[in-house]
A and B are shown apart, each in its own frame.
Chain A
């Protein structure tokens, strides 16, 4: 159990590391180029892992409805946007606003896909998130600090 907790927590940290690295690359090149490198490097690694452990291609892997194969292009836009954002407003603000958008978007998507009414607790959560976004919006992002040392 403790291993799984550490694994899930570190995985979250690595999401941040990935965003930071792509953001650094975007500063010297372009956000879309950083996104391209991110996908190419990830593809190479996953191909190597797939070849090493096998079982990459299951029967019927390619027989799903066409739209489920479009997560990749959506991801390219996502990584490009976040690589640009992090250089502008920093890691903390990027992370919290991306989380806000993700949770609000997730609730909307669930609602559209399942038609199930949004629970009272979720509604309360949405109110808190929107309030948080407004508070962030009213405050200028912290400006980069010059190193005095």
Chain B
């Protein structure tokens, strides 16, 4: 694929991933009502592990083909799930404060955006450095303003 095509595919994949995230949050939220926040997250990680194992044929070859020697992968790169699980605990605590859901969501989005800007600026955790382009800054401002309107419009 040409770089332009990869860009387009990645952009569309990111939008689709966001929509999937909404579906996931909805399902896990329903499950949390049934069995509590910890149970919901535990269950989602467990069934997710099983689901990923069911599709091993899809990724086994790719791993064997990858030219990077196993020793070149830093150990911390395996800890994404650790950060994710800790996030669940922190947000379920914050939701039960006076911030409520909308405050927790809004601050969470702000935290994500600030981190991602820093990550691109300094190339954090082994992902390439990228300069922020004017178009991206404008797009970011529009998406943040729009998200704020949607969040407050549904309070």
Contacts and interface: CB of A to CB of B under 8 A. Distances in A.
Contacts of A124: 146, 149, 153
Contacts of A147: 123, 129
Interface residues on A, range: 35 or more
Minimum-distance CB pairs A-B, first 5: A101-B18, A12-B111, A121-B153, A139-B135, A132-B142
Interface of B: 3-4, 6-11, 13-28, 30-31, 34-36, 38-53, 55, 58-59, 62-63, 66, 68, 72-74, 76-91, 93-94, 97-99, 103-104, 107-117, 119-120, 123-136, 138-154
Contact of B139 (A27, A79, A82, A96): A96
Contact of B48 (A21, A75, A82, A91): A75
Interface of B (DSSP majority class): helix
Nearest to A77: B20
Interface in A103-122: 103-110, 113, 119-122
A22 B4 CA distance: 24
Contacts of A38: 80-81, 84
Interface of A: 1, 3-5, 7-25, 27-43, 45-47, 49-50, 53, 55-58, 60-64, 67-79, 81-82, 84-110, 113, 119-133, 135-145, 147
Kindly name the residue among A30, A42, A57, A87 whose own CB sees the greatest number of chain B CB atoms within 10 A.
Answer: A42
Contact of B31 (A13, A69, A104): A69
B150 to A, nearest CB: 4
A11 B90 contact: yes
Contact of B113 (A22, A29, A95, A110): A95
A124 B132 CA distance: 26
B72 A109 contact: no
Given A14-B83, A122-B154, A136-B11, 13 more contacts: A8-B99, A8-B103, A28-B72, A38-B84, A50-B38, A69-B27, A72-B47, A73-B48, A74-B23, A101-B14, A102-B21, A132-B140, A140-B4
A29 B66 CA distance: 6
A1 B100 CA distance: 11
B57 to A, nearest CB: 10
B132 to A, nearest CB: 6
A53 B37 CA distance: 13
Contacts of A56: 38-39, 42
B80 A27 contact: no
Given A12-B107, A24-B77, A39-B48, A33 B59 contact: yes
